[in-house]
Structure 1
Amino acid sequence: MINKISKIGFSKIGGIFIGKDIVSDFHKHYALTVIVSFGKLFSLYTSKDNQDDYQAVLIQKNIDFSIETCKNEYVAFIHIVPYSEAGMRLTDNAHPILKLDSLKLQDSLSLIKDWFYSNVNTQEIVENILDAISLITGACKEKKVMDDRILKAMTLIMDSEDEKLHVDKISVAVNLSISHFNRLFKKETGLTFRRFVLHSKLIKSIFAVYENNNLTEASFIGGFSDQPHLTRTFKENFGIKPSTILK
C-alpha cells in the first residue's frame, strides 16, 4: 500500500481533505461537513465540556465545533457546497449534528480509500465521491430550492476577479435594492454578503493550493492582501493552519 500523509481533492460542489493526527480549534464552516474515520473513533466537541465520539458524522453549515482524531488514524473531511444539489440533499436544520451509520457508509468509504491511495486526483472523481456521500441514508430527503436571484449572485461572486467586490454591483445585477438583497442573501445563505465574499476568496485560494501553488501564491490568487490574512481566514473556517494540507 502506498505510504500517504495527506491528500486534498477539489470539485465544483466541494472538496475532500484526508489526514491524520488532526487537532483543531473551534471553528465554523459555511459548507456542510461529513467526517469519516478510516478506523478508530474521533472526538467531536461542541463546547469545552460537551464531547462525543463518532465513526462518521454529518455537520450542518455554520455549526461551531472542534475535533481530535486518534493518533495515526486517517480521517476524511468532506465539505459540500450547501446550494449544490448534493448540499441540498444533506441540509437538515432539525439535526445540526447527525451521527451516521458507518455500515451504510462502507461503499462510500471504499471510494474514498481507493481515491486516497491512488495517484489519480481528478475533479470528476472527487465530485462522484461527494455525490455518493450525499445519498447516505438518514440525510434529509425534503426538496429544497434556493432563490434564483441569490444563486445568480453567488455565481457572480465566485466568478468575479474583483478583489474589492461591492454589494451594489451584485444587487443591481440581480435586480434587487441593496437593502432587499442583503436581507434575502442572509436568509438564503446564512451569511452576510461580506462573509460570503471572504468565503469565495478562501475557496479560490484552496483551489490554488490544489493546483500546486504555495501559500503565498495562493493568497494572492484568491484575492487576500497577504498570506497571514489567508491563514487567519483558513483557521477560522477549518480550525487548523493551511500548512496542514500541504504536508
Structure 2
Amino acid sequence: MEKLIVRRYRGDFVAWAGVCGFIGEGGDGASISPHSHYAIQLAIGAPSGLRVQLGRNGKWQSCAAALVPSRATHTIDVNGCNMSVVLFIEPETPTGRALAARLQGRPELLDAATVEIAAKNLDRAWRVEKSYDAVKAVCMQLVQEISRTEPREPSDPRVLAAVEYLRQRVGEAVTLPEVAKVANLSPGRFRHLFVEETGMPLKTYILWRRLLHVWTLLMRGETLSAAAHAAGFADSAHLSRTSRNMFGLAPSTLQMTGPLSAQARGLENHLGCTTGPVKA
C-alpha cells in the first residue's frame, strides 16, 4: 500500500442508540491491516480521497463512501480525505437488520450524490459550529436515509428503568436476573422484551455501553487505563481486544483531539466535575 505523509489524526467520537463512530481529519499516513468486525460500517471521505480494500487481497478502490457488512474483511484509507466519518452500526438493531438485508453480506460502494449534502453539513457542524449535537443529528439523518428506517428508542417504562439502571452501573458486573428484577419481570420475559425494545440482547447491550463509555472518557481526557477500569474492563489489553472485535481497532489507534473533545475537556475544567457534552 502506498505510504502517504499527512497530518496526524485529529478527531472526535459520537454515539447514539446502536450506532457510534468517529469524525476527524488526517490519518498519520498509516495503513490499517485488513480486518473484520462485528459492526456494520459506514465510511465517508470528504470531499474525496477515501479508498477501500474489500477482502484481504482485494484491489484498492476510490469512492465517496462505503457500506461494509458485519464480519466482512476490509480496510480503509482516509489519508487523502479532508474529513472522514466512520460509523459503526450494531447489526441486531432495526437499522442494522435493514442494512444487513440490503447488503446480503456484500460490501457496497456509494456514489458521491448519496452523501454529498451530509458531508457538507458534517463539515460545518464539526469545524464551524463545533457542536456534538449537530454532528450527531446529521449522522443520524444520514443513517436513517441509507437504511430507510425511522429512529427508534426504547419506550416501555420497564425497559427504560433497566436501561437507566445499567447506565448508572456501566462499570459494574450485572446479571440478567438482577436487571430483570428492576423491570419487575421474570428473566425469560425480560430477555424477550429487552431485545424487542432495544434490538440487542442484554449482554451485547452492556458491552456496547461499556465501549461507548470508554470513548466518552477518552474525549474528556482520561487515560486509556483509567477509562478501561472505569468501564468495567480488566485492563487496557482486555479493552483493546474487545474493541478490535467490535470495531476493528483499538482505542489507542485514534486520539481524541478534535473540537468536540476540546469542548468536553474545557467544560469539565470549568465546572470542576465529570459531566460534559458527550452523551454515551
Taking structure 1 as the reference length, the TM-score comes to: 0.75
Cα root mean square deviation, aligned: 3.6
SS at match of 1:78: strand
Higher relative contact order (CA 8 A, sep 6+): 1
Task: Find out whether 1:101 has 2:111 as its counterpart.
Answer: yes
Identity of aligned residues (%): 18
Contact conserved, 2:53 with 2:59, CA < 8 A, in 1?
yes
Structure 1 pair 89–238 and aligned structure 2 pair: CA distance change class (3 A): closer
**Shift in Å at residue 179 of structure 1?**
2.9
Cα deviation for residue 220 of structure 1 reads 2.0
Instruction: Give the whole-Å Cα distance in 2 for the aligned partners of 1:28 and 1:152.
Output: 31
* Deviation of the 1:75 alpha carbon: 2.9
Q: Tell me the alpha carbon deviations over residues 114-156 of structure 1, each in whole angstroms, 9 at most, x when there is no partner.
A: 34545x64321222222332353x4324787867355654443
The range that moved more, 32-41 or 63-72, is 63-72
Bigger mean CA deviation after superposition, 144-153 or 33-42: 144-153
Which residue of 1 is the match for residue 76 of structure 2?
68
Change (3 A) 1:162 1:110: closer
Task: Give the corresponding residue for 1:16.
Answer: 22
In structure 2, the CA distance between the partners of 1:127 and 1:71, relative to structure 1 (3 Å rule), is: closer
Which residue of the partner structure matches residue 227 of structure 2? Answer: 218
Equivalent position to 2:45, from 33, 37, 41:
37
Q: Who is 1:131 aligned against?
A: 140
Deviations 1:21-63 (A, max 9, x none): 4515533345x53210121342243x43667844212346x44
Contact 2:38 2:246 in 1 (8 A): yes
- Quote the offset at 1:213 in angstroms: 1.3
Superposition deviation, residue 209 in structure 1: 0.6
- What's the CA shift for 1:77? 0.5
Decide whether aligned partners of structure 1 residues 70 and 208 sit closer, same or farther in structure 2, where only a CA change above 3 A counts.
Answer: closer
Secondary structure of 1:95's match? helix
Where does the alignment leave 5 or more consecutive residues of structure 1 unmatched? none
- Aligned pair in 2 of structure 1 residues 242, 175: CA closer, same or farther (>3 Å)? same
What residue identity is the alignment partner of 2:181?
V
Instruction: Give the number of equivalent residue pairs.
Output: 238
